[in-house]
Chain A
Amino acid sequence: MNVLKKVPVREQDPNIRNSNFEEVCLGYNQEEAMEEAIRCINCKNAQCIKGCPVAIDIPAFIHEVKEGNIEEAYKVIGKSSSLPAVCGRVCPQESQCEEKCIRGIKGESVSIGKLERFVADWARENNIKPVAPAALNGKKVAVIGAGPAGLTCAGDLAKLGYEVTIFEALHEPGGVLVYGIPEFRLPKETVVKHEIDNVKSLGVKIETNVVIGKSVTIDQLFSEEGFDAVFIGSGAGLPKFMGIPGENANGVFSANEYLTRNNLMKAFDETYDTPIFKSKKVAVVGGGNVAMDAARTALRLGSEVHIVYRRSEAELPARAEEVHHAKQEGIIFDLLTNPTEILVDDNGWVKGLTCVRMELTEPDASGRRKPVEIPGSEFTLDLDTVIMALGTSPNPLISATTEGLEMNKWKCIVAEEEFGKTTKEGVYAGGDAVTGAATVILAMGAGKAAANGIDQFLTKK
């Protein structure tokens, strides 16, 4: 074995997976995992832990994997993370734990993400539960949103003995894990549902179909339902559009709509009632992970798919692994290209997308290269669907109905980073609702911080 290289992970063949929704990455088996674990040199001053937003004791769990004690490894991870099977799949490890790995200086870093995934999957297959619920301390906390931030906050508080209820607006708990990230990156039944069941097994109650701000307000949770503290993890759900002509045409979707129809409502499965538009040729506008997810979904539904992005490949905000997978599957990248108008036929349907070529300026003082239009470079892509994946911003439903909760100019909730404390007494917040659209693991980190904050607040009270 070459210690400078990661043990390769098995994947579904690109030409087979581009027409199914089964998981792309197949993960390590125990033999592969133990072989990879040997590559960890168990640094005393482990840098990888500093790169992890929830500070998992990475060398300790990898040590247990090396010894073949997978259950012990699961317990080590469980001290810091409530959703390891999710994080092992969707965390951007290359810019977090693995970026800091000493192995990475000369050669490839240890495949921490794939090891975490293996441990979590092994625990699920062997029916290992996280720690038993704690004795109740008599205090009630409401958590708004059953996404990564809310589930983490709820799990941590339950472990400390709080009676926790999560209120979820949709009919399924999971937030972006169920409506946003597709099945082929994160299986819903086996992985997501199981991790949520683990949180429930800690004693956390989840009430679905409750839209805070509409079904009940935060003030009413305190005054009428007897909660002692509230955590807001409502995410960033509001889609952005470009503001170009033709955006309200039939066949223009937000990535949120397209992905929600397919992931949450399972439109790809004919036995479900929710329809999804059967496109022949799609342009996905944007270059982030959500754009890759939407593009790879449209491809699997049988369409030719173009990613239209105004900067170059180096600036694509998506994870390198996602871009690589998308290319392997046959997504066409139209880089340095910016849409200017959606062309619409007489019946109101999309018939094309007018774009202009872009070039990048020399780096400015901040080192950023700005995309500028190349004059006279307009051209038209003939297509029937445009999916806008331009990012999202927080939903104003809660801020508009909660007095004393301060927002910043981007409509994000103002919360202290260390403990998630907001401007309203007893109310904490974290995740995309505070930062704007970011990652699953950053939201989990914020949920964890807020659980600490709430515990301190209620212990003092």
Chain B
Amino acid sequence: MYTIQKSEELAQKIFLMDVVAPRIAKHCKPGQFIIAKIDEKGERIPLTICDYDAVKGTVTIVFQVIGASTDRMAKLQVGDSFSDFVGPLGSVSEFVGEDLVSLKNKKMLFVAGGVGTAPVYPQVKWLHEHGIDADVIMGSKNKESLILVDEMRKVAGNLYITTDDGSYERKGMVTEVIKDLVVNQGKKYDVCVAIGPMIMMKFVSILTKELGLHTIVSMNPIMMDGTGMCGACRLTIGGEIKFACVDGPEFDGHLVDFDQAMKRQQQYKSEEGRAMLKELEGDTHHGGCGNCGGEK
């Protein structure tokens, strides 16, 4: 059992938890993720690692409530536990293995969208701890849904925040900020790391391709075992089939087939929706949807 030591609602429907998992805390690095399962009947849910503390033996996860299982997770309290918590999974961010001297000469730009701020944070923090200040763009719907602003401010070089409705700092999409920095202000970056909703990563990648800026994205497709066994998370990267769980989750954004990836994400949407309704309203659905085969 993996006990929850801290639980906090960062923004509406976005939760942060510290979970006791010493093996993972000791071995994880930026770019990796974990899979959690609440209890015997729960799903295996891939989740972002936001932070880790090898000394305390805890791993910090951040998740958004998007379905029945994450809704159930959100209801867990301090002292409750996950029956299963496995990781760290996936490959470590490329820069972690790079020579520090050459890394210090690189200028890095991070783009964090919504709950994607959580996996960006440990990367920027790692760089900060190694004497490298990276610029960070954070984007969200509005002021209320921004997360980890103070934490990010402590570890980022320049921090640019933008909201869709202009309720905090800038107004507009993250792509507009990238354009502003690179085209208008003439800033030079060697690499961009963009993590957020797939649609955001797609448009960041289209833009940075035009700008000639090498871009890494972190993919979060449907996943089950997370060890390369099932192939549910397969993506087309530069025309080749790759598994996000073992070959990724980080890939060259200019090679990812985002349209296919977004379609694949819809695979269990109707099943998830029904499970969510059942969770919220009880057993109220008795057909008529055209999907479940029930009578009208």
Contact = CB atoms under 8 A, between A and B. Distances in A.
Contacts of B234: 241, 248
A254 B225 contact: no
B275 A273 contact: yes
Interface string B216-237: 0000000011011111101110
A237 B227 contact: yes
B271 A275 contact: yes
Interface in B130-183: none
Contacts of A237: 225, 227-229
A215 B268 contact: no
B23 A215 contact: yes
A211 B264 contact: no
Interface stretch (A79-87, A256-264, A422-430): A256-264
A140 B236 CA distance: 44
A277 B266 CA distance: 12
A274 B84 CA distance: 15
A459 interface: no
Given A170-B225, A248-B236, A261-B224, A256 B43 contact: no
Contacts of A347: 263, 266
A130 interface: no
Interface in B262-294: 263-264, 266-268, 271-272, 275, 293
B42 interface: yes
Contact of B89 (A214, A239, A273): A214
A348 interface: yes
Contact of B88 (A215, A239, A247, A256): A215
B267 to A, nearest CB: 5
Contact of A260 (B230, B235, B272): B230
B228 A395 contact: yes
B202 interface: no
B257 to A, nearest CB: 8
A275 B269 CA distance: 10
Interface of A is mostly: loop
Interface in A138-188: 169-171, 179
Contact of B27 (A215, A251, A271, A274): A215
Given A211-B87, A215-B86, A277-B268, A397 B227 contact: yes
Interface of B is mostly: mixed
B24 interface: yes
B90 to A, nearest CB: 8
A4 to B, nearest CB: 45
Given A211-B87, A248-B241, A395 B68 contact: no
A25 to B, nearest CB: 27
A271 B41 contact: yes
A303 interface: no
A208 interface: yes
B44 A254 contact: no
Interface residues of A, number: 39
A54 B236 CA distance: 43
B121 interface: no
A273 B43 contact: yes
A216 interface: yes
Interface in B69-96: 69, 83-89
Contacts of A214: 27, 87-89
A410 interface: no
Given A211-B89, A260-B225, A265-B43, A171 B84 contact: yes
Contacts of A278: 293
B6 interface: no
Given A171-B44, A275-B272, A210 B264 contact: no
Contacts of A275: 268, 271-272, 275
A247 B241 contact: yes
B43 A250 contact: no
Contacts of A12: none
Contacts of A171: 37, 44, 83-84, 86
Interface in A222-277: 237-239, 241, 247-248, 250-251, 253-254, 256-257, 260-261, 265-266, 271-275, 277
B283 to A, nearest CB: 11
Contacts of A248: 234-236, 241, 260, 264
Contact of A241 (B68, B224, B231, B267): B231
B11 interface: no
A456 interface: no
A190 interface: no
Nearest to A209: B86
Nearest to A271: B41
Contacts of A271: 41
B263 A215 contact: no
B246 interface: yes
A273 B87 contact: no
Contact of A210 (B23, B69, B224): B23
Given A260-B230, A273-B275, A216 B241 contact: no
A118 B264 CA distance: 46
B43 A274 contact: yes
Given A211-B89, A215-B24, A257-B230, 16 more contacts: A169-B225, A169-B227, A171-B44, A171-B83, A210-B23, A214-B89, A216-B23, A241-B234, A248-B236, A248-B264, A253-B232, A254-B231, A257-B231, A271-B41, A395-B246, A397-B227
The 6 nearest A-B residue pairs measured at CB: A348-B263, A275-B271, A257-B230, A209-B86, A237-B229, A171-B84
21 contacts: A209-B85, A210-B86, A211-B87, A214-B27, A214-B88, A215-B27, A216-B23, A237-B225, A239-B230, A241-B231, A248-B235, A250-B264, A250-B267, A253-B231, A256-B230, A260-B230, A261-B224, A265-B43, A273-B68, A274-B43, A277-B267
